[in-house]
Amino acid sequence: MFTCKNCGSTDTDASRLCAPDFEVTPKKHCGTSANEVCDGHKPVMKFTCDACGSLSAHPDNLCSPRETH
């Protein structure tokens, strides 16, 4: 993943950004809907993103993580 220095947008293709930072940033799972998580993996998804509702087993994979209960 690359991040735009101007607006913070991310893309896997640096040429699609107006001012790409060529240091590769870690991929976040934000933007992946809960419907795309395999049913067998949903029980381990203990965190949700407050910004977009994505799920993750680890908080550092999300932009704005919140632990689910």
Is 41:50 a contact under the CB 8 Å cutoff?
Answer: no
Is 40:17 a contact under the CB 8 Å cutoff?
Answer: no
Model pTM score: 0.55
More confident position, 69 or 15: 15
Is 55:48 a contact under the CB 8 Å cutoff?
Answer: yes
Give the number of other Cβ atoms within 10 Å of residue 19's Cβ: 11
Three-point CA angle 12, 52, 42, nearest 5°: 90
* Structure confidence by residue, pLDDT tens digits, 27-67: 666 766 777 777 777 888 888 888 888 888 888 878 889 99
